[in-house]
Chain A
Amino acid sequence: MITLGFVYVLAGLTFAAFAFLGLRDRSNPKRFGNAAFWGLLAVSMLAGDRLGDFGNGLLVLALVAIAGAGQIGRAPGGDVALEIQAERAARHGPFLLLVALIIPAVALAGTFLFKWLPGLADPKQATLISLALGVLIALAVGMARLKPSPLLPLQQGRRLLDAVGWAAILPQMLASLGAVFALAGVGEVVGDLIGAAIPHGSLFGAVLAYGLGMAFFTMVMGNAFAAFPVMLAAIGMPLLIMQYEGDPAVVAAIGMLAGFCGTLMTPMAANFNLVPAALLELKNPYGVIKAQIGTALPLLAVNIVFIWLFAF
């Protein structure tokens, strides 16, 4: 049976190749830093389960040290000239689009297939496993037809990842920080503070505090999942559901979505907000957040009104 372990091995080998190719790129003055960073990530993917908790912690400290010392950078140039790209696009265009769509198509088909035939792959991880299979199939099809030099996909992939830089592991780091916050009981403390600050005797005041609290706490934690249990315990359960007898399904469901509005507005949700800015090579690292605030704020107001209308 295919498990997530297979995907980790694939990712580990990919990062190892990026590290090796990066080390040989003499045009990059920071090649040693890059190679060490992607190399450590390869170790984490390939052998993380054998390093032990403290060993993994040391590995993270090394990653942070390399990034913090500014030892990650990208080599100048290396792009295929625009004219060559245009000429190749004229020849291969529809085929390229087809290969690009193989990844989502296989992810889609695999998700259903592995749920119907549970013996093949771990059904809980069906989409991630299918995504990895989609990558391998797309790569095989693309290589067979385009016949590039064998290392080209890895070289170009490495250049894309170098452009993203240390931000590539930011989402994983923030998820880990959330675990430390949970261990230290940060959520309960924030919940008590917000619970003490809301006005008494006003239903709409309580709904407002709940909705804004979900969004604000999500912005601090970077993730509505961390905010939800805290805000529900502080306001949702004692006031909205028990005192005012609101419908718990509405309070929970739309409260969570109020939190998602916060996700749109915070750099802490790095994989949605900062990583795409790096990937699209935006000048402003907060450009995506800037584009989202105009949707997030009115939608937050709508969610608060929806809770007030539908739950009571």
Chain B
Amino acid sequence: MLVLIGTLIIIAGFLLRFNPLLVIMASALATGLAAGLDIAAIIAAFGKAFNDTRYVSIVWIVLPVIGLLEAYGLQQHARTLIGRMKGATLGRLLTSYLLLRQAMAAVGLTSVAGHPQTVRPLVAPMAEAAAEAKNDALTDDQREEVKAFSAATDNVGLFFGEDIFLAIGSILLMKGVLEGYGYIIEPLHFSLWAIPTAIAAFLIHGLRLRRLEKRMMKEAGA
């Protein structure tokens, strides 16, 4: 029971808005101490895990390219493109991106798109421009909401597409865990059972994108 103190520290720390890095370190130390480890062993365990998961942080190498392109006006160009497309509404644009992201993830191409690679330089400015086409006086709050929905659409597309791919980590994990209980299951079965949820995710999020667009237009009319 005592090892749960780490999760409590995490929840309290995030709610009280302490610096999350401090909260994580405090949680790791408290959890390790509660489990009877000594401080040096906890630090070493954390250090080993940090070194083993460096691949999580290599995505930042795209920033010099994004910085170069943005200095030369990539975001403006993305906006101009959307301005020229007559049928490009906020809802249609983000729904198309949702479908594209789900389809790419479903064939295993999860790292092809993402927040630094595609959302910040392309999707978010395009979504803003599409919203502006219908509502030329976007407030700061509306602009913020459009950007937040651009990021949300990337996440929903990724999460509910990737499990259709046979060789993704989560499928291998499920296969491995069930094998531990004596159930041998082909990865294809997990993949197929991810399809109904993928369709539901597309419908639910797509509907919300349509409602977002309607709400932006109504607020413009009011």
Contacts from A to B (Cβ < 8 Å): 4, 7-8, 10-11, 14-15, 41, 44-45, 48-49, 51-61, 63-64, 67-68, 70, 80, 82, 85-90, 92-94, 96-97, 99-100, 103-104, 107-108, 111, 125, 127-128, 131-132, 135, 138-139, 142-143, 146, 148, 152-161, 166-181, 183-186, 189-190, 220, 224-225, 228-229, 232, 237, 241, 248-250, 252-254, 256-257, 260, 263-264, 267-268, 270-277, 279-280, 282-284, 287-288, 290-292, 294-295, 298-299, 302-303, 306, 310
Contacts and interface: CB of A to CB of B under 8 A. Distances in A.
B204 interface: yes
Contact of A157 (B66, B78, B112, B144): B66
8 contacts: A15-B60, A68-B21, A104-B117, A176-B50, A179-B46, A180-B32, A279-B115, A287-B148
B25 interface: yes
A184 B73 contact: no
Main secondary structure of the interface of B (DSSP, over half): helix
A239 to B, nearest CB: 13
Contacts of B65: 99-100, 103, 135, 138-139, 142, 153, 157
B112 A310 contact: no
Interface in B8-45: 10-11, 14, 19-22, 24-25, 27-28, 31-32, 34-35, 37, 40, 42-45
Interface of B: 1, 3-4, 6-7, 10-11, 14, 19-22, 24-25, 27-28, 31-32, 34-35, 37, 40, 42-78, 80-81, 108-113, 115-122, 124, 140, 144-145, 147-152, 154-156, 158-160, 163, 169-170, 173-174, 177-178, 181, 183, 185, 189-191, 193-194, 196-197, 200-201, 204-205, 208
